[in-house]
């Protein structure tokens, strides 16, 4: 498997000679924009679905789910956990932009399985302020998917909670495994 880290590019020379990764991204954007054509879409996702997933760089959600630009809203965070901010985004997605279905995707080998709430304590000791947010670490990925489904289904802010499904993405095989909410 090839990753961007292993593919030599012209921009890597810039990074090696004082440029940054952000410089590389800005340069790539300039090339993208030079060939860009406005697709004529608005912010309403064509498939009326919002996907909540982990931010893990190994998850190429659009490819894994057969999605195209404009098909869905994608909300990502550490662990793909349904937090208050995810509920905020889902509420806007549903109430202002017409989504009706919600797909939750966690994955095997998630970094949150190796963290604990002790992470917050360590941050507090380092910077002198306790983070207001919870780490939302977990040991059982399936149980965490169930908890996230329950958080969505019981939110008073969401209009459509009848089509909420949760999955675990296997980072070795690329397959989704559906999790029974019970």
pTM over 0.85: yes
Residues 39-91 have pLDDT tens digits of 999 999 999 999 999 999 999 999 999 999 999 999 999 999 999 999 999 99
Residue 92, CB half-sphere, CA atoms under 13 Å: how many? Answer: 9
* Rounded Cα distance, 91 and 95, in Å: 6
Strand order in the sheet with 101-107: 72-77, 49-54, 101-107, 164-169, 176-179
User: How is residue 29 written in tokens?
Assistant: 């954007």
Residues 109-140 have pLDDT tens digits of 999 999 998 999 999 999 999 999 999 999 99
169: exposed, middle or buried (Cβ count in 10 Å: 0-12, 13-18, 19+): buried
């Amino acid at each position: 498997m090839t990753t961007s880290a292993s593919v030599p590019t012209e921009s890597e020379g810039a990074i090696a000679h004082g440029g940054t990764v952000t410089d590389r991204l800005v340069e790539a954007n300039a090339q993208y924009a030079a060939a860009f054509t406005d697709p004529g879409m608005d912010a309403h996702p064509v498939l009326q679905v919002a996907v909540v997933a982990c931010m893990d760089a190994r998850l190429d959600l659009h490819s894994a789910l057969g999605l195209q630009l404009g098909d869905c809203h994608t909300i990502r965070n550490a662990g793909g956990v349904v937090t208050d901010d995810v509920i905020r985004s889902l509420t806007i997605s549903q109430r202002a932009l017409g989504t009706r279905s919600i797909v939750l995707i966690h994955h095997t080998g998630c970094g949150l399985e190796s963290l604990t709430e002790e992470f917050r304590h360590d941050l507090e000791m380092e910077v002198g302020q306790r983070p207001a947010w919870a780490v939302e670490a977990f040991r059982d990925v399936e149980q965490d998917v169930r908890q996230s489904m329950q958080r969505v289904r019981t939110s008073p802010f969401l209009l459509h909670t009848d089509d909420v499904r949760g999955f675990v993405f296997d980072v070795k095989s690329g397959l989704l495994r559906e999790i029974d909410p019970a």
